[in-house]
Amino acid sequence: MRPRNPANRALPVNLYKNGRYYQYRHPQTGRYHGMGTDRAAAIRAAHQLNAQLIEPISLTERVLGTKRQAPSTEPTLLFSDWLDTYATLLDERGLSSLSRYNRQRQVERIRAALGALDLSTITTRRIAEFLDAQTPRQANAYRSVLNDCFNEAIAKGHITTNPVTVTKNKRVATQRQRLTLEDFQRIHAASPIHLQNALDLGLITLQRREDLVSLSWSDLRDGVLELQQHKTGTRLRITVTKPLARVLDTCRSNLDSPWIIHYRRGSPHTRAGDPIAKQQLSSMFRAVRDSLGLYAELPIRQRPSFHEIRSLGARLYEARGMDPQTLLGHKSRQMTEVYLDSRREEWLVASPAVDILENFRESFDKPS
């Protein structure tokens, strides 16, 4: 018999603790019943229920075999207990802090819905019901976690089949409009200098907001811009080619700021030279976009955001015959946003040799 989880070891048989709450597992039906948060009351009730529901067997009957001993009521492995083990396995993968936080939240949501079940009794139907209760995007993310979770359980020998495998990803409708090159130019021309710098650097390096605002001049070493992406943990060395050097030159100021992207002027809430928060990049981008009346016919959630610059730059590189995957920080075209890489300690090397800004550089100097 598998030893009980430490949290349940001192409890009567059939009584389990799940978070702050206690649950009693009916020895005949296998169903769980809530017993509240009062430990003493739950223990008393469990003893009373066991006395009524578990048929006693004498020692003589056990020896002579005249009456079959009742089967053990201990579950093979509670899913909640397995999720504890799975969380430990995730910690060993060396996920980035953001990925680890998101995965922990997903695991806890799964635990709340399915944790009281035996791991070996979870069916595809139960998985499908859980996924159907989510939005399409959330369902696909949870499906990915569950699929990985059950595969790990198979690898450890707890189960032999994965109930998630035959479920399907839900179709997620693309909501946000792509940013066009023409509209990028218009937004750029109407933006303050610090936002222009962020737009230029984002377009040529293809990095996310949080990576752009974290860049400092100390990351520039021997003609290489080094960074570690916050979302994936991917380490990237970007060669400072002439096109990128021109962008970096425009980012320099006489403020002696350590940050490549920084405020050029102070305000009631910021000082000149301060770094720009990623949320501020988004809000400034939205303000300029909306002031120009761009995409006004679309609902707000469908209008292109600052993040769409990443897609625009990738499309421009591809149109010029350069594969943008390395600059994006991906190691393959099949990589997803929840990509987990056990070899992320190695550096990826990228060289933005194609000047994707040359065709509209003159427009940057035009007033709005």
- Catalytic positions: 208, 231, 307, 310, 330, 339
Q: CA 208, CA 14: separation in Å to the nearest integer?
A: 50
Helix (H) or strand (E) holding 64: helix 59-64
The residue assigned the tokens 């399907």 is 168
3-class secondary structure, 18: strand
Q: CA 27, CA 34: separation in Å to the nearest integer?
A: 15
Q: DSSP string of 201-224?
A: HHHHH---HHHHHH-BGGGEETTE
235-239 and 347-350 as β-strands: parallel, antiparallel, unpaired?
Answer: parallel
Distance of CA 337 to the CA centre of its chain: 7
Q: CA 189, CA 207: separation in Å to the nearest integer?
A: 21
From the list 336, 339, 324, the residue with the least C-alpha distance to 172 is 336
3-class secondary structure, 315: helix
The values of phi and psi at residue 235, to 5°, are -95, 130
Greatest alpha-carbon span in the chain: 98
Distance of CA 79 to the CA centre of its chain: 22
CA dihedral 357, 358, 359, 362 (to 10 degrees): 90
Q: CA 63, CA 66: separation in Å to the nearest integer?
A: 8
Q: Copy the structure tokens of residue 299.
A: 């609902």
Q: Copy the structure tokens of residue 311.
A: 């897609």
154-159: long-range pairs with CB below 8 Å, 24+: 156/85, 158/76, 158/77, 158/82, 158/119, 158/120, 159/119, 159/120
